[in-house]
Structure 1
Amino acid sequence: MGRRSLPTRGHPRQARRGQGPEGAAEVHPGGGSGGQGQQGQQGQAGRQGCTEGRSQGRQARCQARCQDDSSEGGGKSSGQARRPQGRRQSRCARLSAGAEPPVSEAQPALRWAVVGPGNIAGRFVQALQGLPDQELSLILGRDLARARSFASAHRAAGRHEPRLQQAAGEAQLRAALSSPDIDAVYIATPHAQHGEAVAAALQAGKAVLCEKPLVPGLAQARPLLALAQARQAFLMEALWTRFLPVYAQVQQWLQAGLIGPLRGVQSSFCFSIPFDAQSRCFDPALAGGALLDIGIYNLSMTRWVLQQALGACPEPLRMEAQAVLAPTGVDQRLAATLHFPGGISSQFVCAFDGMADNGLRIFGERGLIELPQQFWEATEARLTLAGQAPQTVHLPFQINGFEGEILEVSRCLRAGLTESPQMPLSETLATLAWMDALRTQVGVRYPFD
């Protein structure tokens, strides 16, 4: 693979392979130390992943994520701009509209570190290995044995073997991530640990893709965004649903006004798991609870629907929420209605203690759009207009669904952007503000609030 510099700052390309920071524990999957160890439509490898998203498999993955109890997890501020703001917005607009050229296979590989080798990171790595111009350079965890097991489980023939390192705490993370053979960092630790990993990666000058939620609350997010801007480093919340092919079709229907003026949105994300006070789903010290873990999809896609239908998402006039709290004090089930100007409403329920159809429905004056199953990883959408037969589209994943957000990071970095036009940081802040308000209503507080 080529080693030409990416058009971003802080990504030197001349590092010796396998050279870790001083004092950091480092091994390679083979047992030795040191040495080697667009919503795009690229690549045919990984087409087998298209069949993984069937209903039972998806439900099992959700349950497995929430029962992963390890410490690794399962699952704009002021500052100096790098270029005139108008030019950046123009480039963002062209990227969002798909006017930029596709990523070329002649480009140097984007080299990734994974922080938090758990279940959800496994899905990320599977997508990464199915894409050209992407390379896994480092697996970083609190438990070296776990990192070694993760690397073994996700070894891919013909792919570069990543280094393994052990690190805990922001200082150790920053030292490990400062290695010059890393361009971007994917963070998949439990929610409460996201902040220190994001800060460490940004301080090291790396691009960051962090699992949702970026952090548990708005107050914790603002300093990270200020740091990203000060370092001119890329930062994006990994809300992968927004990059799925089927939502490009839904976007076209909404922007064309096929269903008429928007009337409402309904969605559910529910599954049943046994209560475990030590689980990341139920432990308040890990920012557990259904809202932050899965309800964020309901809220983020509500915002997305309103943006496509109205041009922008208005602030709700009021929000009404009720919840059933687990013995640990986090929400095991939460239902809410958000009321918007013009009589538009959004209703959703998220839960760890029950079942639902897990669909998303968008109501208009003249029609209905449905994503009938597992809307957060949907491959099917249905348009029903008054007096007409339903129109159903099936748009499978290229690999497993995570490829869209990976390709978005690559496109943005090669374009010199510090945030994604499809998942901007303003969206992260707005969704966190809604979740803060809903948690306050139902009485969920974390030890670090």
Structure 2
Amino acid sequence: MPLTLPAPCTPDPMAAPTLRWGILAPGGIARSFATALRARTGQRLQAVASRSLPRAEAFAREFGATAAYGSYAALVADPDVDVVYVAAPHSEHHALALLAIEAGKGVLVEKAFTRNTAEAAEVVAGARRARVFAMEAMWTRFLPHVDVVRQCLEQGLLGQVCTVTADHGQQLYPDGPQRLADPALAGGALLDLGIYPMSFAHLVLGGFTSVTATGQLTDRGVDAQDAITVTSASGALGMLGTTMLAKTPTTASICGTGARLEIDGDFYGPRALVRLVAPDGRELDRFVAGDTAYGLHFQAAEVARRVGAGELESPLMALDETVAIMGALDQVRTQVGVRYPGE
């Protein structure tokens, strides 16, 4: 019988319980999140906070939030906010996540979760101590095509996995967002772009036993690009790359002894195409996503389902895995020579 891809089992985001969300830092990713929240979920945007009250008010008007605040502390103190989305630069994730947690709020923290492992561990410990939900906003984990990939791995459809490849490059330096060039904001390619192939490989391989990296730094000391090799306990290899100097194919593959998966256009996003390919190169099956207009709504719905069920984390992006991936990112930065102020 020919091999075929399993159908995705991703729950309908519209069916998730409604939470009242607060957004800290109304920047570009917050705008994408709020757009998806309104278009594809039953979630409610309750409040938004910025250090600039006029900016928060403008965002609130645009997306229909009930309240706008000129301080982050004021938002997390709002009793009508159920869960907080931390959308600030990486350098602020640790402090803002703890601010929300200490106020008794669950948190969805943009990826990369924090600057380093120590900060990640502190946020996780704080959430567990306070008994509130916490999750890294690695939105790719919750997309339908990744559910297909996950099922293929669980069913052993590919045979023994031998190699994983993934890359993520965007032309964002030197003319892109200035935060990517700034060490004080934990800039560089790795935490912004490289987190995608690293998290994907960690999902596929079930963890890393070694991480080897080389990279190119900018004149300000952040990484412009990185080439990374990882190994797993089974002996499988991952070959990963990231750059903010050029647009790369942003594809991924999982190669096993029985078949391989090829993921195109971009592998981490809602428009990805998954192809199941035989060892002789024949395409056996393919999965094409249906609704490709948005993607961030799937993670919001996952948070709502878990919080509604009284759970404190998601098994699809478990907190211990987030900390482990952060540890691998630390190893990459150490090897390429990137250190952020205050570390």
TM-score calculated relative to the size of structure 2:
0.92
Q: d(CA) in 2 for partners of 1:328 and 1:229?
A: 37
User: Cα distance 1:212–1:314, how it changes in 2: closer, same or farther (>3 A)?
Assistant: closer
Q: d(CA) in 2 for partners of 1:435 and 1:346?
A: 14
Q: Secondary structure at the match of 1:315?
A: coil
Q: Specify the alignment match of 1:178 in structure 2.
A: 77
- Residue type of the partner of 1:416? G
1:322 aligns with 2:214: yes
Deviations along 1:291-310, one digit per CA (max 9) or x if unpaired, are 1111111111101112xxxx
Q: d(CA) in 2 for partners of 1:332 and 1:205?
A: 38
Q: d(CA) in 1 for partners of 2:176 and 2:152?
A: 44
Q: Specify the alignment match of 1:29 in structure 2.
A: none
1:448 aligns with 2:316: no
Q: Secondary structure at the match of 2:181?
A: coil
Choose the corresponding residue for 1:354, options 220, 229, 246.
246
Q: Secondary structure at the match of 1:348?
A: strand
Equivalent residues, number: 333
Q: Specify the alignment match of 2:116 in structure 1.
A: 217
Q: Specify the alignment match of 1:23 in structure 2.
A: none
Q: d(CA) in 1 for partners of 2:177 and 2:111?
A: 20
Choose the corresponding residue for 1:299, options 198, 201, 211.
198
Q: Secondary structure at the match of 2:179?
A: coil
- Retained in 2: the 8 A contact 1:276–1:282? no
**By how many angstroms is 1:175 displaced?**
3.7
Q: Secondary structure at the match of 2:302?
A: helix
| Counterparts of residues 16-55 of structure 1 (less than 5 Å) | 39-43=10-14
Q: d(CA) in 2 for partners of 1:362 and 1:320?
A: 19
- Retained in 1: the 8 A contact 2:25–2:49? yes
Q: Specify the alignment match of 2:6 in structure 1.
A: none
Q: Specify the alignment match of 2:127 in structure 1.
A: 228
Deviations along 1:214-253, one digit per CA (max 9) or x if unpaired, are 1100111222212111111111110000000011112222
Q: Specify the alignment match of 1:412 in structure 2.
A: 306
Choose the corresponding residue for 1:263, options 162, 185, 204.
162
1:439 aligns with 2:343: no
Choose the corresponding residue for 1:121, options 30, 36, 40.
30
**By how many angstroms is 1:174 displaced?**
3.1
Q: d(CA) in 1 for partners of 2:244 and 2:292?
A: 29
Q: Secondary structure at the match of 2:198?
A: helix
| Counterparts of residues 240-389 of structure 1 (less than 5 Å) | 240-275=139-174, 279-306=178-205, 313-316=206-209, 318-378=210-270, 379-387=272-280, 388-389=282-283
- Residue type of the partner of 1:283? D
**By how many angstroms is 1:290 displaced?**
0.5
Q: Specify the alignment match of 2:51 in structure 1.
A: 142
**By how many angstroms is 1:364 displaced?**
0.8
- Retained in 2: the 8 A contact 1:39–1:407? no
TM-score calculated relative to the size of structure 1:
0.71
Q: Which runs of 5+ in 1 are unaligned?
A: 1-37, 44-101, 168-172, 307-312
**By how many angstroms is 1:140 displaced?**
0.3
1:394 aligns with 2:303: no
**By how many angstroms is 1:278 displaced?**
7.8
After superposition, the CA RMSD in angstroms is 1.9
Q: d(CA) in 2 for partners of 1:327 and 1:277?
A: 16
- Retained in 2: the 8 A contact 1:245–1:397? no
- Retained in 2: the 8 A contact 1:113–1:184? yes
Deviations along 1:175-223, one digit per CA (max 9) or x if unpaired, are 4311111001001000001111101100110110010111100111222
- Retained in 2: the 8 A contact 1:39–1:403? no
- Retained in 2: the 8 A contact 1:244–1:397? no
- Retained in 1: the 8 A contact 2:134–2:312? yes
- Residue type of the partner of 1:166? G
Q: Secondary structure at the match of 1:376?
A: coil
| Counterparts of residues 132-211 of structure 1 (less than 5 Å) | 132-152=41-61, 154-155=62-63, 160-167=64-71, 173-211=72-110
- Residue type of the partner of 2:296? F
- Retained in 1: the 8 A contact 2:113–2:322? yes
Q: Specify the alignment match of 2:136 in structure 1.
A: 237
Deviant stretches of 4+, over 6 Å: none
Q: d(CA) in 2 for partners of 1:334 and 1:404?
A: 29
